[in-house]
Structure 1
Amino acid sequence: MNILLTGASGFVGRELVRELQQRADISLALALRSPGRSSGPTTFVVGELAVDTDWLAALARQQAVIHAAARAHIMKDEVADPLAEYRRVNVEGTLNLARQAAAAGVKRFIFISSIKVNGEATVNGKAFGADDKPAPEDAYGLSKLEAERGLIQLAAETGMEVVIIRPPLVYGPGVKGNFASMIKLVEKGLPLPLGAIHNQRSLVGIDNLVDLIICCIDHPAAANQVFLAGDGEDLSTTELLRGVGKAMGKPARLIPVPAGLLQLGATLLGKKAMAQRLLGSLQVDISKTCQLLDWKPPYTVEEGLRRCFGRSN
């Protein structure tokens, strides 16, 4: 099968390239923003993901597109109108690619979306489901939802199959952002006031996510569906920090401070968003993914964390 991958230089894209290159039944091509690869898969320099990007050459003879490129979620966005910028790339750029893909005869378009389409938090142990009413709370999540809706409409109009995958926080070797910051704190052995947090959060290891994406390339039941990704295990922040420490061979130093006190302190310091990520819950229900695709995450969270640090024991 001929597959075009966008976002090959990103965290998820790099792992997809590594895995797809090992598949004898897949001919992989990469759509790049600028020149940068001299060997490996066929590459096409297409420039920015924009409403006027020309994808004609890259899409020729492709049977599937895995669209992992996006304007990623930015914690402190400094552009004047973040929503407009997210829409320009994530909505207009994505739909331009998808329209050209349909016109070129691409059979399936796999869109890597985000759990932020569902919302920012879950309560009372009720996990997000793939078919729940979307409730994005920020510009990034809204842009992903608008792209999803545009793709679903395009699928109905053209017959090109669309598969939407919404991952929660993705971790793995080389991860950046909040997870990387947490790793550094544990690595330094600093005492952290997070030893009594009883929230529940779903994560997805990069190897599990890549396995799911590859499953969706040609699985008949994946056509025109929305799937949530996850490891199938929910952890509290306390449990996650302990797991990271164990995987590193350096136990986390956690002080049991009540979550309510931490929430109050964060509010007074203007850090409510940070507190939500550390203290709040965000659970995803992957039962639809598992049942419809006859799929299960290949790795447990413990195994995923060990792979994160290259440890085998």
Structure 2
Amino acid sequence: MNVLVTGAGGFIGKNLIERLNREEDVSVSQYHHGDDLSLLYEHLTDTDVIYHLAGVNRPQNNEEFASVNRGLTETIITYLKEHHKTPKIVFSSSTQAERDTPYGSSKKAAEEVLKNYSLKTGADVTIYRLPGVFGKWSRPHYNSVVATFCHELAHGRDIDIHDVNQPLELVYIDDVVDSFTDCLDQHKTDETLYYPINQSFHTTVGELAKKLYEIRDIRTSLIIPNLSDKLTKCLYTTYLSYLDPDNFSYNLPAHQDERGSLVELVKSRHAGQIFMSTSRQGVIRGNHYHHTKVEKFCVIKGAADIHLRKIGSDEVITYTISDQNIEIVDIPPGYTHSIENITDHEITVLFWANELFDPDNPDTIRLRVKPDER
């Protein structure tokens, strides 16, 4: 199958082409802004599907709206008609087509060209009126408010908001690409031209900003937002794509004492927290129990004995674990427990707790596993 993508160098185009290049039996041709029309005609001569993404939304003058958004569409359709070709066409329009603006009018005019072509030739035309599209490779101060907000926050600048209650409809780039690529194998059984993206999100500018500030602050708060919410997950992914390459890593504070160190790694109000510790030779940590908090222990460097004793019982249970056979030990509630370095060097242990540590209600009661131990 031969596929042509116009606007191949744009935000949606780059993401779509990456996906199409992974599809079996699909050969992709690209038409970029500034390419000669002769190249476009060459591609149109032998194409089965056209993804018509080329367009402008922030030109230097309003005349470009008509010349590009409508004009290029007319050029493509004129060529196809003259050469009696009816490839499938997938067109990225905009919800702005419903508004009386230069941009909206130009998108609406392009839609009409395509609808007339489909009506007269029977060609398969699919039109997506896209709301704000966001995701990796989106151009800030051009493609979407999400791109602009992410770029500013990732570069240490606050964002300006004029109306926190302004509603937003957003679609994620992967959902757009999924919908577009679904068209490769779909065969219409009716005359429907307009189709929605598989999933869209409805929020406000204020809520968007709030989520992105929480995402930015993860490096200091360590609190991961609720990523089971798909919009939040997609915003987190998008935000990271705007970090400069020299800013991918960040330091975490280590709490040092005579036993070793403790570093908190990740926190979540929904899934607890992950932290790690180092312990010097002979160090025993713990000797406490919890009523509701539960933990998981995993030795990732060295070896340790994990001792547990159910409160009210004299029986001590011991698990010896090491980095030679990575395993996790669950720490149930009501069991006092400790972890002892049994090597002659420092060990490293990874911990998970099912809740964040609350100094006002720590749910941690001191009690030795081995009462006679010093």
Amino acid at match of 2:231: V
State the match for 1:61 in structure 2: 46
Note the C-alpha offset of 1:142: 0.2
Alpha carbons 2:69, 2:106 under 8 Å: kept: yes
State the match for 2:94 in structure 1: 114
The equivalences for 1:284-299 within 5 A come to none
Note the C-alpha offset of 1:12: 0.5
SS, match of residue 239 in structure 1: helix
Select which of 67, 87, 101 maps to 2:80. 101
The equivalences for 1:87-236 within 5 A come to 87-102=66-81, 103=83, 105-118=85-98, 136-176=99-139, 177=141, 178-187=145-154, 197-221=164-188, 224-229=192-197, 231-236=199-204
Rounded to whole Å, the distance in 2 between the matches of 1:78 and 1:192 is 25
Alpha carbons 2:149, 2:159 under 8 Å: kept: no
Rounded to whole Å, the distance in 2 between the matches of 1:194 and 1:78 is 25
1:185–1:93 CA distance, 2 compared to 1 (3 A):
closer
- Gaps of at least 5 residues in structure 2 are 221-228, 242-265, 267-374
1:8–1:197 CA distance, 2 compared to 1 (3 A):
same
Report % sequence identity. 22
Structure showing greater relative contact order (alpha-carbon pairs closer than 8 Å, 6 or more residues apart): 1
Deviation digits for residues 280-304 of structure 1 (CA, Å, limit 9, x no counterpart) = xxxxxxxxxxxxxxxxxxx921222
TM-score for the superposition, normalised by structure 1: 0.64
TM-score for the superposition, normalised by structure 2: 0.54
Rounded to whole Å, the distance in 1 between the matches of 2:136 and 2:122 is 38
Amino acid at match of 1:169: G
Larger Rg, first or second structure (1 or 2)? 2
Structure 2 residue 210 is the aligned partner of structure 1 residue 242? yes
SS, match of residue 197 in structure 1: coil
1:104–1:26 CA distance, 2 compared to 1 (3 A):
farther
SS, match of residue 180 in structure 1: helix
- Gaps of at least 5 residues in structure 1 are 35-45, 119-135, 253-298
Select which of 231, 235, 259 maps to 1:305. 235
State the match for 2:8 in structure 1: 8
Rounded to whole Å, the distance in 1 between the matches of 2:231 and 2:102 is 30
Structure having the higher helix fraction is: 1
Structure 2 residue 18 is the aligned partner of structure 1 residue 18? yes
Q: CA RMSD in A?
A: 3.0
Alpha carbons 2:50, 2:89 under 8 Å: kept: yes
Note the C-alpha offset of 1:160: 1.3
Amino acid at match of 1:9: G
Rounded to whole Å, the distance in 2 between the matches of 1:145 and 1:233 is 23
Note the C-alpha offset of 1:233: 2.4
Alpha carbons 2:171, 2:201 under 8 Å: kept: no
Alpha carbons 1:15, 1:210 under 8 Å: kept: yes
Structure having the higher strand fraction is: 2
Aligned residues: 228
Amino acid at match of 2:65: Y
